[in-house]
Amino acid sequence: MLALMAGSGCQQSDNSERKPDSMTTAENPLLAEWTTPFGVPPFDLIGNEDYLPALRQGIAEQQMEIDAIANSLQPASFENTIEALERSGATLEKVNNVFSAVKSANSNETIRATALVFAPEQAAHNIDKLLNKELFNRIRSVNWQRDSLTLEPEQQRLLEETYNDFLRAGAELDDPAKQRLKEIEGELATLSEQFKQNLLAETNAFELLVMDPSDLGDLPDSLAALAAEEATRRGYNCDCWLFTLQRPSINPFLESSPNRELRRRIFLGYANRADNGNSRDNNEIVARTVSLRAERAQLLGFSSHAQYVLSDRMAENPQRVYQLLDEIWAPALQTAQAERDALQALMKADGINDQLQGWDWRYYTEKLRKARYDLEQDFIRPYFEVSAVRDSAFLLANKLFGLTFELRDDIPGWHEDQQVFEVIDTDGSHLAILYMDFFIRASKSGGAWMNTLRSQSRLDGNVTPIVTNNFNFPPPAGGTPALLGYREAQTVFHEFGHALHGMLSDVKYRSLSGTRTPRDFVEFPSQVLENWMSEPEMLRLYARHYESGAVIPNTIIDKITASSQFNQGFATVEYLAASYLDMAYHTRTSTDDVDVQRFEKEAMEEIGLIDEILPRYRSTYFSHIFSSGYSAGYYSYLWSEVLDADAFQAFKETSLFDRDTAQKYRQHILSKGNTRPGMELYKEFRGRLPTTEPLLKKRGMFENAD
């Protein structure tokens, strides 16, 4: 998702004695000049109370800059209007990038309170800017002149994107509609932040205490040690193991524990997050959000939120999204039904005659994987020590693009677990700074993501990018280093793909740089990198046993390859179900509040989702669409996977590390940001449009396709 140990950084300070309302620029490290190496944020100096006054100062500065542009007596030109607007808000962006990263990865009560206060203020500022009549008149004036201006292609793109941003935001609405739009944006910002905070609190609140070691089943020793340490950390003075709703804790337990009742409890704990009728319940937030989005879309002249969102995406409209989902859904569901029947038979062989349930799926999937392929996750983990996987991603970047990564112990981070790397280009020049933050903690949001702390640009000198990768992997425990499962190792490559997209950007304007592309394009560079991770040639380069240093045996590589399409029906169906749920909410034209539980149930019945599989994200914890930027856009992963499967064939047709193909990929995709439409960039790289055939073959569903 767009967003990743030994301590290379410093713990974020908590200077509670500062008086934020009276602080000067010199006293606030966020507003002072940063003299750190490469201008990175001075995390070792920043206090929690520094953020709100600095964010407000950033808003005030940009407002003055906007007023100067809007009220200028000079005729509107590209330079004094479009480029001037591009330059505005530098302080706000600098501070907000840092705050957003810390809020997601190392929050606390002060940070969360700041987020709730600032969210509506930021929303109000953004909409005030976009609805500023005088400012829009100047932008429109420049747009009218575009055919007579001698603009370079990137300048033309910036003008087009700026003009469309203001149009889509409602710049031509009348004053009452603008006022209502401001109210909606402020409320949506607050709802989004509250949704996220409720979900984090619900996730952290759940615990499953296991007293009997037999209930651990075949759980790897390293994960059992981690669960024992978690029990101790939470105050349990016993020989016991504690499991949480974080993916690296719950999934191995569901895969390993023979205790069906315990599997049921933790599965339902996960499935019912923020849906328990308590102070952290998200049902009303979801209902209100969906209603407000529909109202906003109609104010802006669109029939639904999905129509509004998709009009600016590669997909263009809901019909094209549904066409793609439907094309994959039928073969995926057929595959998942066959998988269910095989698991049901295995469960019956265990003497259990009940119907297979969601909490049984992963347990019997692992038993079936072992029976069919003689492959267990415990065979794989010793070869995927977290630092080795990280270094393998670096090695891939070196082989493809000539990049090298140098650990920098002199650069501060926001947590002691962080590592910081200087990225050096193939010609020896400084390219970027990369922060990597691998491990679970209560202060971190779930999942994995990449953040941009500073966007690349060339408008006023060469500004190099600073990006982060964030994960939620199990930390070292019981004297064993952090060992990753196959999917977790794949996640490292995914997020590193986002990082490369940000670091290899080479554009003039920061608003067009790096990952600032349409949602249904941005996942393409991240997903394509996953393809290398499991290639036998790549595995032999990096997968070594953490104790012996032995290269992963060919027998295990063969088993990984043979099982690559195993359980793909389940994985595809749960993802598609969430995509359909997203679209169902956001193609609604009614602004009435929806009954969330009934709506979700009916949406899943309409597509024929089988009872044994839940959508990957149910409504009350679907943070992608209710507290991130993926509303009416969760389909983007599939859309991008069509691109990535097709693009990887370009390397398979030459060689895995072909430098000429990699150079074309860097030149036409990674370096271009949003300077041209995504499909145009893709055709420049591949020479043609993509097809779905490579994706269906990759997932083992080509024979089930019509």
Q: What tokens does 251 get?
A: 């999934």
Tokens of 366: 């692992």
Could you give the CA distance from residue 345 to residue 349 in angstroms, rounded to a whole number? Answer: 6
Structure tokens, 387: 């630092």
In a 3-state reduction of DSSP, which class is residue 527? helix
Phi, psi (rounded to 5 degrees) for 471? -135, 175
Strands 466-473 and 430-439: parallel
Asked if 189 and 120 count as a contact pair (C-beta separation under 8 A), the reply is yes
Alpha-carbon separation of residue 317 from 49, 217, 323 (angstroms): 43, 48, 10
Contacts of 596 (CB under 8 A, 6+ apart): 283, 286, 287, 619, 620
Measure the CA–CA gap between 22 and 38, rounded to whole angstroms: 30
**Residue 367 phi/psi, 5° resolution?**
-65, -40
Distance CA 158, CA 327 (A): 35
Which residue among 230, 495, 523, 612 is the active-site one?
A: 495
Residue 178 amino acid letter: K
Contact 572, 336 (CB under 8 A): yes
C-alpha span between 398 and 36 (Å, rounded) = 27
What whole-number distance in Å separates Cα of residue 631 and Cα of residue 643?
A: 21
Rounded-to-integer distance, Cα 336 and Cα 676, Å: 38
Tell me the sheet residues that pair with 420.
Answer: 435
Instruction: Round to the nearest angstrom and report the end-to-end CA distance of the chain.
Output: 31
Task: List phi, psi (to 5°) of 437.
Answer: -135, 105
Q: Quick count: other Cβ atoms within 10 Å of Cβ 346?
A: 18
Q: What is the CA radius of gyration of the chain?
A: 25
Q: 3-class DSSP state for residue 639?
A: helix
495 is catalytic: yes
**CA–CA dist 676, 187 (Å, integer):** 33
Write out the two tokens for 312.
Answer: 């600016």
Residue 14's SS3 state is coil
Query: For residue 305, is it left (φ>0), alpha (ψ between -120 and 50) or beta?
Result: alpha
* 304-337 as b/e: b if 16+ CB within 10 A: bbbbbbbeebbbeebebbbebbebbbebbbbbbb
Tokens of 427: 């010609």
d(CA 235, CA 548) in angstroms, rounded, equals: 36
Residue 615 in tokens: 């959508």
Residue 176, Cβ neighbours under 10 Å: how many?
A: 8
Strand partners, 544: 551
Residue 166: closest CA among 147, 143, 187: 143
Residue pair 138/200 in contact (Cβ under 8 Å)? The answer is no
Q: Which residues pair with 423 in a beta bridge?
A: 405, 432
| Closest residue by Cα to residue 414 from 20, 623, 111 | 111
Q: Which residues are marked as active site? A: 495
